Amino acid sequence: MGHKRIIALNGSLRVGSSNGQFLNALEDFFSPFEFIIYPSLGDLPHFTPDGHFPEVVLQFKELVSRADYIVIVTPEYAHGVPGVLKNALDWLVSDERMPGKEVFLFVCSAGDGFHAMESLKEVLRTMSLVVKEERCLSVSSIRSQFIEGRLKNESLIDKISSMASSLIY
Ligand SMILES: Cc1cc2nc3c(=O)[nH]c(=O)nc-3n(C[C@H](O)[C@H](O)[C@H](O)COP(=O)(O)O)c2cc1C
């Protein structure tokens, strides 16, 4: 088995974020990959397209470029993508190391997250990232999906297992 790596991004900055809990739960499904959770997209400055990349942005771009897969877990805000996540993605636009990278997309919200999911697919495909329909999952009622930090919904667990099993180790 070659050493493969996943970079995981959370679109919620909320302390105790349920998307964060979901990300932690995902780690088990994606073993034996190295699963790196980016600490906080809020550490990235606002994107400006003047070609200057602050050190924290260079490190972020390097981490993503070294990953074989990108996992995105995010809530929907007002039928859109949280600004902090869109900001992070904008920093990755035009980075020649990104096209062709494969993405797993989880929109974890109170509702069905339809609008954020569709918008994100469009953004990611515009960036020439690979988004396969079978690797996109909306999880509603996200805050009630856990018991003591573990996922409790068997059908959800099965869906994630099946998504993760499509990976080549
Ligand atoms: C500003 C704001 C806007 C929201 N808009 C939506 C929405 O459009 N659709 C939805 O399903 N949930 C919406 N929600 C509810 C979130 O899905 C819910 O708070 C979710 O738990 C957030 O994830 P987190 O626990 O990781 O922060 C919104 C929440 C906030 C704070």
Q: How confident is the model at residue 155 (pLDDT cuts 50, 70, 90)?
A: very high
Q: How confident is the model at residue 29 (pLDDT cuts 50, 70, 90)?
A: very high
CA of 120 to the centre of ligand 1 (A): 16
CA of 12 to the centre of ligand 1 (A): 9
pLDDT, tens only, 94-112: 999 999 999 999 999 999 9
Which of 12, 37, 40, 109 to mutate to test ligand 1, by most ligand atoms within 8 A of the CB atom?
109
Predicted pLDDT of residue 149: 87
Among 6, 136, 134, which Cα is nearest to 70's?
A: 6
pTM for the complete prediction? Answer: 0.97
**How many Cβ atoms are within 10 Å of 44's Cβ, its own excluded?**
18
Cis check for the bond before 32: say yes or no (omega within 30 of 0): yes
- The CA angle 76-138-30, to the nearest 5 degrees, is 110
CA of 64 to the centre of ligand 1 (A): 26
Q: Please give the domain boundaries of the chain with CATH numbers for all domains.
A: 5-164 (3.40.50.360)
Atom of ligand 1 nearest to the CA of 16: 25
Which residue has its alpha carbon closest to ligand 1 atom 20? 109
Residues in the chain: 169
Q: Cβ < 6 Å from ligand 1: which residues?
A: 12, 14, 17-19, 75-79, 109-111, 113, 142-143
Q: What is the DSSP string of 7-72?
A: EEEES---TT-HHHHHHHHHHHHTTTSEEEEPS-GGGSPPP--SS---HHHHHHHHHHHT-SEEEE
Among 63, 61, 83, which Cα is nearest to 12's?
A: 83
Which residue has its alpha carbon closest to ligand 1 atom 23? 75
The amino acid at residue 37 is: I
Query: 141: which DSSP letter?
Result: S
